[in-house]
Amino acid sequence: MALAIAMACSVMLGLKIYSPSQVWRAFVAFDGSETSVVIVNLRLPRAIIAPLTGAGLGVAGVIIQTLARNRIASPDTLGLNAGASLAVVVASFWLGVSSLAGLSLAAAVGALLTSLLVFGIAAGAGGLSPLRIVLVGVTMAGLGHALVEIILTSNEAALEQLLFWLSGAIVDRPISLAVNGGVMLVIGAALGWSLAPSLDALQADDATASGLGVPLGLVRGASFIAIALLTGSAITMAGPVGFVGLVIPHAARALAGLRHRHQIAAAALLGAIYVTVADIAVRYVIYPAEAPVGAVTAAVGGVVLLGLLKRRAA
């Protein structure tokens, strides 16, 4: 119900507020007027893309925090957002990829390679300790963002085109993005759901999970693919929306407990609501202009991260 209300508000609220009757007429009797065009072609796509983005990042955050055994791990702190963004920029402006399907694939591959690199470097540096994984991830995130800035700085047209997108924004997105991203998201979520019993065991340690019959290498590899699909779909649709994958898993565990099938369902729903509400809020933060949704989620996520770090230090 909360998600349905949030999506309805996303269609109605903005620089101009539309009534439910106006929205209904635009859907059932599209007449090409300004009201119909804004509602159907501009507001409706973002009301669909925002919850898909939040759901993907929320579920990815649950899986990442279990694999890393670290409650401050997320697609941001492990560098997956940066890796996916770098892959999209390289594919777009160096390889000439322009199709939505191609950019979606590039984002997924970038997230997958970054996750493999982070866990591989951490394992080679002395083991997959929670602190080591996050330190390697933060380093990779910084490197990825630096490379993106170098590429965009050398191409002013690319900088102007992608600057708002790289902040995490859902405005002016075509509905076709939801189709491409939605397919990747459903596949990634289904894969994560199928891995839930094994992820339950991985919350302990490798020895315990192995003793319970969990094939560690296979589960980790499949988890990396699920994370890549979920993060890549979100990056493709909305850019690197920050810290959703950090905040939402904590809320999901508080609401649904530690069983991963419950966590994944709760994270998908809460993430969808969170990003949709954030996308509504950015329309009024610097009214009448509009801020990128990533600015709001990053601000909230930064506060949550500081609170988590303070609690761990205590």
Domain at 51-313, CATH homologous superfamily = ABC transporter involved in vitamin B12 uptake, BtuC (1.10.3470.10)
- Which residue in 299, 293, 252 sits closest to 271, CA to CA? 252
Q: How far apart are CA 229 and CA 197, in angstroms?
A: 20
Q: Which residues of 137-161 are buried (b: 16+ CB within 10 A; e: fewer)?
A: bbebbeebbebbeebbeeeeebeee
**Please, how many CA atoms are within 13 Å of residue 79, restricted to the half-sphere of its CB?**
29
Question: Would you state the pLDDT for residue 50?
Answer: 94
- pLDDT tens-digit profile, the chain (314 residues): 999 999 999 999 988 999 999 999 999 988 888 899 999 999 999 999 999 999 999 999 999 999 888 888 888 888 888 888 888 888 877 887 777 677 777 888 888 888 888 888 887 876 667 778 888 888 888 898 888 888 877 776 666 666 656 667 788 788 888 887 888 899 999 999 999 999 999 888 888 888 888 898 899 889 988 988 898 888 888 888 888 999 999 999 999 999 999 999 999 999 999 999 999 999 988 888 888 888 888 888 888 878 877 776 55
Q: What is this structure's pTM?
A: 0.89
Q: Which residues lie below 8 Å from residue 3, measured CB to CB, with a gap of 6+?
A: 51, 269, 272, 273, 276
Among candidates 201, 222, 226, which has minimal Cα distance to 211?
201
Looking at residue 277, its amino acid is V
pLDDT number for residue 128: 64
Residue 54: name the closest of 303, 230, 314, 253 by CA: 230
Q: Among candidates 74, 153, 159, which has minimal Cα distance to 115?
A: 74
> Shortest CA distance to 39 belongs to which of 60, 69, 15?
15
